């Protein structure tokens, strides 16, 4: 084996290494998608929005909205659960819409039978 052969083999190995690094990087970036097609950043934004909406609902002094479940996907807030009356349902939707980052509110709250 001479010096020319060693240089040629080394170049080939380096190219293989570069291809493998590129493949691993592409696979890792593809893995950053959530089941809703979100990036990690979008997922964190939605989690932050969900937390802010929950805090706003729990902190409301006029009505008890502690039984409301909140989920956010791509800025759309989904409200689920049971409230006492239609006024509470409306209030929960309005409070959620006031939170920064909320693009739309799907208010699927149910009212208790009275």
Q: Where does the pLDDT of residue 8 fall: very low under 50, low under 70, confident under 90, or very high at 90 and above?
A: low
pLDDT at residue 77 tops 70:
yes
* Digit-coded pLDDT (tens) for 19-50: 565 555 555 555 554 556 778 889 999 999 99
Q: Is the pTM of this model over 0.85?
A: no
Written in H, E and C, the secondary structure of the chain is CCHHHHHHHHHHHHHHHHHHHHHHHHHHHHCCCCCCCCCHHHHHHHHHHHHHHHHHHHHCCCCCCCCEEEEEECCEEEEEEEECCHHHHHHHHHHHHCCCCCCEEEEEEEECCC
Q: Where does the pLDDT of residue 80 fall: very low under 50, low under 70, confident under 90, or very high at 90 and above?
A: very high
The share of the chain scoring above pLDDT 90, in percent, equals: 53
* Alpha carbon separation from 106 to 50, 77, 89, 90 (Å, rounded): 13, 6, 11, 11
């Amino acid at each position: 084996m001479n010096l020319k052969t060693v240089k040629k083999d080394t170049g080939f190995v380096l190219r293989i290494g570069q291809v493998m690094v590129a493949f691993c990087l592409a696979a890792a970036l593809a893995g950053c998608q959530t089941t809703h097609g979100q990036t990690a950043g979008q997922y964190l934004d939605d989690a932050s929005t969900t937390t802010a909406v929950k805090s706003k609902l729990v902190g409301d002094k006029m009505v008890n909205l502690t039984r409301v479940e909140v989920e956010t996907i791509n800025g759309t807030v989904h409200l689920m659960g049971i409230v006492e009356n239609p006024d509470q349902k409306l209030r929960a939707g309005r409070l959620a819409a006031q939170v920064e980052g909320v693009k739309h509110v799907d208010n699927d709250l149910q009212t208790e039978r009275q």
